[in-house]
Structure 1
Amino acid sequence: MAIEKSLLEQLKERRDQRLVGGGKERIAKIHAKGSITARERFDGLFDDGTFQEWGLHVEHNCHDFGMEKKFMPGDGVITGVGQVDGRPVAGFSQDFTVGGGALGQRHSQKICDVMDYAANCGLPFVAINDSGGARIQEGVDALSGYGQVFYRNVELSGLVPQIAVIAGSCAGGAAYSPALMDFLIMTRKNASMFICGPQVIKAATGVDTTMDEIGSAAANAAISGNVHFVAEDDQHALELVQELLSYLPSNNLDNPPHHPIEDISMVPDTSIDDLVPADAKGALDMEAVIQRIVDDGRFLQVHLEFAKNILVGFARIDGVVVGIIANQPMVKAGTIDIDASDKASRFIRFCNAFNIPLVTLVDVPGFLPGVQQEQGGIIRHGAKMLFAYCAATVPKITVITRKAYGGAYLAMCSRDMRADVVFAWPTAEIAVMGAEGAINVLYRRELEAAEDKQAKRAELVKEYHDRFASPYMAASRGMITDIIQPSMTRASISLALRNTLRKSETRPPKKHGLIPL
């Protein structure tokens, strides 16, 4: 029997009514700010024609304060599943044109439903946040809704990748769901993320501040480290999501999307040799080294603006996806401080959870000395790196380029941290401490007795290096797999990766380790 025309017309009318969200006037206001709507964000994220919406006809569940008279299509959030580069991805996009995107009971239920689906089907999850916070009229039900979302964020953690986009307001408790996710992308304009705004801080503490200081993309990316990527606008944010997903598996049981080439080139790249400063005290630009090692020089840096003395990010080496951790001697001489420890540890643990091999490039003089660092807990924070590397069971390839001193040498995935392969350049120095400090301990009397102290110091530095810090000394004790020319770094890493991709390592059964948080 043919469907009655009136039913089809009713369906079309209802769909059209809901697809415009809060109406054309509110959409126009969004566009006037230089932003795009919740639906346009999903249109830009997913492959054309692949989005299947969940809960288009859901409406709010509040009948207080005149809310029963308000039409709130979708209860202020769009949820569903689409494809990104042919791979299914689940997510939600909050609709600020509908009740300010505020979260209520059914709003949160829609989010939870699609999160459960992502968990059951092993799909990455993308959350586009643009909300005025909890819906006051729904009281504790709204708070319960946040709790339900937080619980699922933790359930999904380590199971599927979670990416949050902060495209508008994200205040108070709403900020904790993104904080529980793996990567946060925030637009430079029209977005904010904070727990207490300037007025609340002023009332509680008497301190005057601005939104730029506490809640802007710049503050969250460079100072607090809450945000991993800053996007220039909504479209750029969506492109970052797509690029990030291109390096990640769909879930913890899948391998990353490797595209290994058939033949590995063993031709030396002499341009890397040129990057090494002639003066051993000169700073090596590790970012330039990375660009020579990875395919097409493409390195997707994570936490670009935060703790710049260490670099982390994703790349491919001859088609194999890797996570790279590298000291950056151009900043703070490459020392490891509190923020660098946190940045590296979190990235290492993510890569391990999702089967991404780790490549570590070492040029580290030690942990950053100072009263502030000691009182701030550098011991506890530095221990996170040791824990993260030791707990990682993915392939681990380490290259010691120059300095590798003291505990920082261990923290950068030495052989003792179960690195599978450790290469060293001839310029490497592996020791308890640097030569200048060590000779004051080992050779103090000889130095004091010398007539030409400068010449004697130079002689002793060389002796110390040859006896205690030479890469050949470390290699003779089995701590170095091989000493390679810098020009062979890319080829050596690539070959080592191919040889370790099938690595399978188990650990003693336990609920979980206790990382020093």
Structure 2
Amino acid sequence: MAMDDLLADYAARRERALGMGGPEKLARRRAEGNLNARERLDRLLDPGSFHELGLFARGIRPEVADRTPADGKIAGFGRIDGRPVAVVSNDFTVLGASSSAINGKKMRHVKETASRQGMPVIFLGESSGARMPDRMGAAGRAMLGQDPFEYRRLRETPWVSLLLGACYGSSTWYTVLSDFVAMRKGALMSVASNRVTSAAINQPVDPEALGGWKLHAEVTGLVDVVVDTDDQALDAARRFLSYLPSHHGEAPPRAPVPEGSDAAARGVAELVPQQRTKVYDMRRVVAAISDLGSVLELKPRFGRSAVTALARLGGRPVGFIGNNPMFKGGAIDVDACRKITSFLVLCDSFHIPVVFLVDQPGFLIGQEGENRWAPGRIMNWLNALSQVTVPKVSLVLRKSYGQAYLNMGGGRNSDVVACWPTADLGFMDPAVGVSVLHGVRREDDPERFAALVEELRRDTEAWGLAALYEAHAVIDPRDTRDFLCRTLDIHALRPTAGLGERRLANWPTSF
């Protein structure tokens, strides 16, 4: 065949592959307000940076070969803000982006290359699950488990998953293995679809109850950010990656400090009522002391008595862990334990310093917590914290009671422990302690109750902790931002160029 004929054949094959599932399916998506798999990549990546591999891949079964352009998963490499990334975008117009032998090879190649060359991986999820009948019978079993490291996470590079439609099978697996998950309202994620699940258990199943955004944002905690549109999900992925290094062998990127950040932080004391029974929103404190506009909260709808957020201090990415009195008075429940532990894993794996903002009355105790393995969750957290090797700073704003004092970075669990003058450090709230220790209630004997409360309050102020050098500093609240910036400069891991030991890098992705 002459070269001109070869090139004409090449152009025709390329055009068919780029046509995805065909004009009718693409038009239907457009009418529904959904981006297609290639449009999503155009919005995600720097213009002109996408380098595709596997365009001419097709399904392995002859009867579907002509109906599987790129075999339903568009894969390759590109750039975000000039930094290389690896991407897999599921094309739902091609057999529902179902997982097959060939597109599985594409995904494996992209992941291996990203790990070896130090690039984040981004999965744009929308998949009907395993392709049938490929996965049926002995031959289907032989397709599975050919890569012994397919589901191993050592967090060599960050993984991001975006849930942008119905996500079953591999889209679910890679989501729960990822470091960051954004979910569009209306998308779904579960082991199998509601139709399959309904047939399996012989009863009706509501798809939203099975795997909708409220379930995963508020109950399972598997989703970090909920958005309304594809564009917002893609923006969330870009923003998350801006805090992280491209790979485990480099420190997180610094950013310019917005003007006015220092001045805005001077008003932080006004956000925290001195009276410890009054509530306030710890998220406002995080925003006030961080570089202006730099806060990205993770899992805001899950474990709400705790705040976990990426932000910047003096241009440096940091991870904030705070108690939030707006919810359950800041008492730490099982969901908050899981949320904080997973955040510690993220920060330790990618060299992000941790700042604790402490205002907690202890763990939320009760039958429900015990039924949900509260002691194990508490110890998981402490186990993880003891292995964190990035800089850790704990700042007590108001109260820090009981065992949770240690979980929130007290004692030798932080490099530096500091207090505001309003700090209250005891085993439990004095009013509760009087009832527990002395069996005296306010309504029974108000005078004696008040005297016993004052007795329990002795030696619980910040000055007592500072006198023992258990608190390394007591600071003016207005100086909080400056103190944290200076402290992190001191503990900047200079001998290792900002790199921690990553002892949590192989910690389970969900537990």
Query: Structure 1 residues 7, 265: CA separation in 2 closer, same or farther (over 3 Å shift)?
Result: closer
1:301 aligns with 2:300: no
Q: 1:464 aligns with which of 456, 473, 494?
A: 456
Query: CA–CA distance in 2 between the matches of 1:351 and 1:262?
Result: 23
Contact 1:134 1:143 (C-alpha < 8 Å) held by counterparts: no
Deviation string, structure 1 residues 270-289 (Cα, Å, up to 9, x no partner) = 42221221432111321111
Query: Structure 1 residues 164, 143: CA separation in 2 closer, same or farther (over 3 Å shift)?
Result: farther
Q: How does 1:305-454 map to 2 (within 5 A)?
A: 305-417=301-413, 419-440=414-435, 453-454=445-446
1:490 aligns with 2:489: no
Structure 2 counterpart of 1:61: 60
Structure 2 counterpart of 1:169: 166
Query: CA–CA distance in 2 between the matches of 1:508 and 1:74?
Result: 37
Structure 1 length as normaliser, TM-score?
A: 0.90
Query: CA–CA distance in 1 between the matches of 2:165 and 2:508?
Result: 36
Structure 1 counterpart of 2:149: 151
1:280 aligns with 2:256: no
Q: 1:232 aligns with which of 222, 228, 234?
A: 228
Query: CA–CA distance in 1 between the matches of 2:226 and 2:284?
Result: 22
SS, match of residue 124 in structure 2: strand
- Residue 50 of structure 1 deviates from its aligned partner by 0.6
Deviation string, structure 1 residues 30-82 (Cα, Å, up to 9, x no partner) = 1122111100111111000111001111111113xx335x3311111100000
Query: CA–CA distance in 2 between the matches of 1:510 and 1:282?
Result: 36
Query: CA–CA distance in 1 between the matches of 2:485 and 2:214?
Result: 36
Structure 2 counterpart of 1:126: 122
Query: Structure 1 residues 77, 513: CA separation in 2 closer, same or farther (over 3 Å shift)?
Result: closer
Query: CA–CA distance in 1 between the matches of 2:122 and 2:465?
Result: 46
Identity of matched residues, %: 32
Structure 2 counterpart of 1:110: 106
Gap runs ≥5 in structure 1: none
Query: CA–CA distance in 2 between the matches of 1:383 and 1:515?
Result: 17
Deviation string, structure 1 residues 245-292 (Cα, Å, up to 9, x no partner) = 111100111100123669999879442221221432111321111111
Contact 1:108 1:146 (C-alpha < 8 Å) held by counterparts: no
Bigger Cα displacement from structure 2, 352-361 vs 253-262: 253-262
Query: CA–CA distance in 2 between the matches of 1:221 and 1:409?
Result: 28
Bigger Cα displacement from structure 2, 80-89 vs 278-287: 278-287
Q: How does 1:240-279 map to 2 (within 5 A)?
A: 240-259=236-255, 269-279=265-275
SS, match of residue 162 in structure 2: strand
1:48 aligns with 2:44: no
Q: Which has the higher contact order (CA 8 A, sep 6+)?
A: 2
Query: Structure 1 residues 197, 56: CA separation in 2 closer, same or farther (over 3 Å shift)?
Result: closer
Contact 2:348 2:504 (C-alpha < 8 Å) held by counterparts: no
- Residue 453 of structure 1 deviates from its aligned partner by 4.1
Query: CA–CA distance in 2 between the matches of 1:434 and 1:385?
Result: 23
Which residue identity is paired with 2:30? Answer: H
Deviation string, structure 1 residues 311-363 (Cα, Å, up to 9, x no partner) = 10110011110011111111011111111101110010111010001011111
Structure 2 counterpart of 1:182: 179
Q: 1:476 aligns with which of 467, 483, 498?
A: 467
Query: Structure 1 residues 121, 143: CA separation in 2 closer, same or farther (over 3 Å shift)?
Result: farther
Query: Structure 1 residues 470, 142: CA separation in 2 closer, same or farther (over 3 Å shift)?
Result: farther
Query: CA–CA distance in 2 between the matches of 1:509 and 1:245?
Result: 21
- Residue 369 of structure 1 deviates from its aligned partner by 1.2
Which residue identity is paired with 1:27? Answer: L
SS, match of residue 56 in structure 1: coil
Q: Aligned-residue CA RMSD in angstroms? A: 3.0
Contact 2:274 2:422 (C-alpha < 8 Å) held by counterparts: no
Which residue identity is paired with 2:67? Answer: F
* Paired residues, number: 505
Query: Structure 1 residues 491, 433: CA separation in 2 closer, same or farther (over 3 Å shift)?
Result: same
Which residue identity is paired with 2:42? Answer: D
Structure 2 length as normaliser, TM-score?
A: 0.91
Query: Structure 1 residues 441, 238: CA separation in 2 closer, same or farther (over 3 Å shift)?
Result: closer
Bigger Cα displacement from structure 2, 301-310 vs 81-90: 301-310
